[in-house]
Amino acid sequence: MTETVGIDRMGFYTPDMYLEMTDLALARGEDPAKYHVGIGQDKQAVIPPTQDVVTMAANAAAQILTPADKAAIKMVLFGTESGVDNSKATAVYLAHLLDLPADTRAVEIKQACYGATAGLQLAADYVRARPTAKVLVIGADIARYGLHTAGEVTQGGGAVAMLVTAQPRMLALEPVSAYHTADVMDFWRPLGRTEALVDGRYSTNVYLDFFKTVWAAYQAQTQRTIADFAALTFHIPFTKMGLKALRQVLPEATPDQQAHLQAAFEASQLDNRNVGNLYTGSLYLSILSLLRHGHLQAGDRIGCYSYGSGAEGEFYSAIVQPTFRQGFDDERLTALLANRRAVSVAEYEALFTQRLDLSGRDVQLPVGEVSAQYYLAGRQQQQRLYRQRIVD
């Protein structure tokens, strides 16, 4: 008998500060409606220098891992394009911070915003072959385009942690998926740069074309139609991008189905609207937002479109499990987002420039106000200094 494999639990972390998009629009001489409606964003996570993708991943994973989980984890797959070292994997730092067993395989995966999906599919295959094993999959990034740039409104950051197991509580991954790869220069970050280069309009067009390609390929493999889905979720670096993709396939549905899919999309983008771009984590925060705010039932099928510039796309599906609400701490996630502090544009700009630079010099970061369980204390002899705050 083939084991059901999928996402057993999900955790999410973003720092305790945000920037209102109205404030950013006014500071940049733009109509706020351009950001709220045209882009589809309301708030943007502001990342302090004491947080990077390793610490955010640790803070997300700590929400969902029990001592028994840690003992059963055999692999950590860390999807990110915001790595902290050109050689040592973020997954190795994370495994140490979480005190995982020494016989854990730890690997970092990079392909723009697609890395976490590659990790999820590799994890599912691993657990299908080893049903007693558990795999921790991370999607964590800090989206940076630079101050006063066209992409500034689509910045943000955070981490999603997923525990992949047999007999999952949340989502059972269906084994069929469709994927497509092409060498495309729509978005990239050359070595030595801390901000990305992007052709925004071109990237959006490639994203939409890839969606049509993998959606058609998935349908050809499965003979399923849009009527088989209770919801479609998307990689949403900004929420309007996912809406454009959804609108491409809505004509395939009946009017009632269209209304249902649109309502599900609204639920799936609520949390992303208030965090901003997570790169690798964007699809997975959207899935979590759908499970938190949507009206799903056991047995519902959701479609998932993942895209990473450069470019790679994949469409796969998952079945909602009867116990899906046991897989995340809704109260904690609501408090995490609600209790953040709004910062001024001036504060945001100052924090944007305070991250560890590429010089390699020793740095001691201001950690006196740190509230996160895991944080970055600085750098010494070109080594990052990760610390854990004792939580009662």
Beta carbons of 18 and 101 less than 8 angstroms apart: no
Beta carbons of 253 and 114 less than 8 angstroms apart: no
* Residues carrying an active site annotation: 81, 113, 235
Residue-by-residue DSSP string for 88-151:
S-HHHHHHHHTT--TT-EEEEE-BTBTHHHHHHHHHHHHHHHSTT-EEEEEEEEEE---TTSTT
**Containing H/E element for 305?**
strand 301-308
CA dist., res. 202 & res. 173, Å (int): 31
Compute CA 79 distance to the chain's CA centroid, rounded to the nearest angstrom: 9
φ/ψ of 211, rounded to 5, equals -60, -45
Q: Which residue has the tokens 């280069």?
A: 197
* Burial grade of 269 (CB within 10 A; 0-12, 13-18, 19 or more): buried
